[in-house]
Structure 1
Amino acid sequence: MPEGERACATMVKEAYKFGIPPLAAGAACLALGWKWPAGVLIFLGLFVFYFFRDPERMIPSAAGAVVSPADGHIIEIVDEPFDANMGHRVTIFLSIWDVHVQRAPVAGRIAGVVYHPGRFYAAWRSAASRENEQNIISLETPQGTVVFKQIAGAIARRVLCWKRAGDVVARGERVGMIRFGSRVDIWLPQEAHVTVRRGQKVKGGESILATWTSTA
């Protein structure tokens, strides 16, 4: 992550931008004796800090491991080509309670970050992958390419990528975030062996989605 994006090891810097105002307003209401609005505002401020948490993760060192790019639940595993070489799509649904920082699933060089404006369908709908606002991030390794999408949803209205084309990333390195819940799709090479199942909870940068004997 570029210098300045993160304020500390466990919090995304944006937490202060969005969390301090409601906390300050809540403190002012409390000083005036307005307990009910003070409670609502303080709760909102604390929730914002919770939402923007960014915990450290134990990155697997196993050769060929493809880690989850996001926290959430697996809602779909399908054979769906992104191009001639990538045939498996795994979809991760992020609820509003999940960590919203995304991580690189493999080590490699970022070949491209392409932003597409779009709609804001509910993240669990299949149309969201095609039509919602999204970033498409392509990762090249010496052996092949992995592609994943940060997809906005009905609540999440902002996808952020902290990397640029040409950047070299390590497996599990932070690459961006989606504000307030949505989904991440990842396309894997045909030779990859998917090891997760539908409904399984995963952690970004830590849970192994698949094994790929050619992956760095």
Structure 2
Amino acid sequence: SNLIFKDPTEFKSAVNDEFDTALGQAKIVLKAESDTALEQAKSELKAEARDVASRRKNFFIQGLDPPADNDEKALVMKLAQEVNIDIGINDIKRTFRIRPQPGSSAKHLLKVECGSEDTKDKFLDQTVRSKLFSLVSPNQFHGVMVFMDKTKQERKDYRILSVEKKKKNDNLTSRGITDEKYVITKYMSLVKLKIKQESEG
């Protein structure tokens, strides 16, 4: 039914009451949404912190063929010696292979769990990476790369950097530059390295 107001003041009061009611309901909804968003953000931050903590001593090796005797630790130690990393066998706690996705031509990744962050950082040092890039065939470790065990957010950032890296490397190739290459550092930045050319004959 239609409402009939006696005067403009009564109408204004009714409108104000309705507005206040609607505003109050909106505030309740917004607060609930805000509280939910805040709790979700807290949960995501805690999950990221746990993820970081669980990965802080790990790194990956790509392009390293499995050894015939299956002694992965000894192989990691041999790699360390090749690039002058001073560690002991006990500094490597565990290794295991991660199979590539079906249809992928990539080799199995080797995940290495170290006894300390210091050991991991030695492998991820930019000088070590440069030494690896300079190795040429038939060296056993030619083409081997090392990179950190990334969290979910870091993997997202890495994918973005990878796209940029590919563009820059494609540009170098198109210009006929074969002795330089962009790589992603452990600090999630792009740097350009000089690549030693393979010897002929």
Q: Which category describes the TM-score, using the shorter chain as reference length?
A: under 0.3
Please, what TM-score do these two structures have when normalized by structure 1? Answer: 0.24
Please, what TM-score do these two structures have when normalized by structure 2? Answer: 0.25
The structure richer in strand per residue is 1
